[in-house]
Chains A and B, each alone.
Chain A
């Protein structure tokens, strides 16, 4: 429970930090609105021309976009800022200030993953939920308790997969300092805003199995629509667990290579 208390502390400290810059709120609001607008219009323009592509119609694609926005918001809430300060541009591994992080009497991976929070990402979370809600109403699904539960499990698995991939990409920085691996992932993650079925076969394989960004959005959207089979749900939970374990050990392996940044 000490960890939960720490997370609360981190979140409070970050919030206080953020509240000091009030203009940031409005700018954040603008960014969130733009993110929502470009996302929704991007899907709307496509389905203004065609009724259905590979079994996906407008409401279904919109639901997927909602999941994508929710995932993006959760990433921005804590995974992104924490790992970016570690492995991003001028991050701790780059500058060598990671020394101080290592000296803290807590688990390094925990500290590196939960340190910084961006409470303004909650705006994005609300907008994402709004899009998903609207799409669900348009689809005319009845939300049974079972579906909502499956959706929440699938979403949890998706967040874990997202976290594991980002952690693995951040850990790679320990081998090659200065290369912004997380930026490569950012590019691939954007592809998750459309159903993987809309991509050519080879890319679909990459997005499902190699860098499973497709799994992250498609599986929860299917869960909400009641199209998800139990083995698929179990599969995505299993994948999340495997990736989490793999990324954690990669991170630990990388830590042994860390030799500070002094000259």
Chain B
């Protein structure tokens, strides 16, 4: 513990620096480009991570399509299960927030110092890994899902309404997972072992966000929990929209829940960041 880094007030909160938005954007873009270049260099490693994340949805895709066989489970056919899980693999990868693991490490190791000393809001660092990550992971996941789609013959009938609603729900799912993960990661300002909470979060995402089964197939107490808690709106909800599992009413209720949880996540993030960064005393020399 040496010294305390106190960021200038204008910099302590991303977006609060209104004086030089042009510099912020240019600097931010430069950071995004350099991070991206670095990630592309290590793509083998990231492909491996993406492979690991694909496995659980793949397992459930196979298991459910076997269970459906030539018939249906709760009105869902084999081909529809395949389509649901292939879309889920893509959405899961697109919304996955690695920041919720890395930001905590940055705080614990003291590397946060560098972030705070730069004339850029620290959220640019996180956003740059987000962009780099999405590009590199997609370079692996899209070809693999394409091949799987050719082999496994999914049945996906997208109505114009569902296609149109899918995009905003996907963007909101990403934002919700990003800010939710971020505020949890920022708890590292207070407790060094806060990442234990992330394991709990991952388990809940696995159970309630449509991975283990589409929300409609969950047994009752789990289904209610999935509807009320934020996790379904991070992954499963856009997938259900695109695969046409939702009635109009369910769609609007889901949309309202998603928007509300997003507002809560952003508010929590702003609050935790503001109070946390004041407590932060750098580690290391």
Contacts and interface: CB of A to CB of B under 8 A. Distances in A.
Interface string B59-71: 1101111110000
B62 A200 contact: yes
A133 B193 CA distance: 34
Interface in A177-220: 178-180, 183-184, 186-188, 190-191, 193-194, 198-200, 203
B66 A42 contact: no
Given A38-B203, A49-B74, A186 B52 contact: yes
Interface in A9-55: 23, 27, 30-31, 34, 37-38, 41-42, 44-46, 48-50, 53-54
Identify which of B203, B218, B219 gathers the most chain A CB atoms within 10 Å of its CB: B203
A187 B193 contact: no
Nearest to B218: A45
A73 B90 CA distance: 31
Interface string B160-190: 0000000000000000000000000000000
| Interface size range of chain A in the complex | 20 to 34
Given A38-B203, A41-B207, A187 B55 contact: yes
B263 to A, nearest CB: 28
A38 B55 contact: no
B52 A45 contact: no
A72 to B, nearest CB: 15
Interface stretch (B17-25, B43-51, B95-103, B108-116): B43-51
Nearest to A23: B193
Contact of A187 (B51, B62, B200, B217): B51
Given A31-B199, A44-B219, A198 B62 contact: yes
B67 A49 contact: yes
Given A44-B219, A45-B219, A198 B196 contact: no
Chain A interface, DSSP helix/strand/loop, else mixed: helix
Contacts of A44: 219
Contact of A53 (B51, B67, B203): B67
A34 B193 contact: no
B27 to A, nearest CB: 31
Given A30-B196, A48-B219, A50-B73, A198 B48 contact: no
Contacts of A41: 207, 212, 222
Interface in B194-208: 196, 199-200, 203, 206-207
B193 A27 contact: yes
Given A27-B193, A34-B199, A34-B200, A46 B45 contact: no
A142 B134 CA distance: 53
Contacts of A34: 199-200, 203
A30 B67 contact: no
Given A34-B199, A44-B219, A45-B218, A187 B67 contact: no
Interface of A: 23, 27, 30-31, 34, 37-38, 41-42, 44-46, 48-50, 53-54, 178-180, 183-184, 186-188, 190-191, 193-194, 198-200, 203
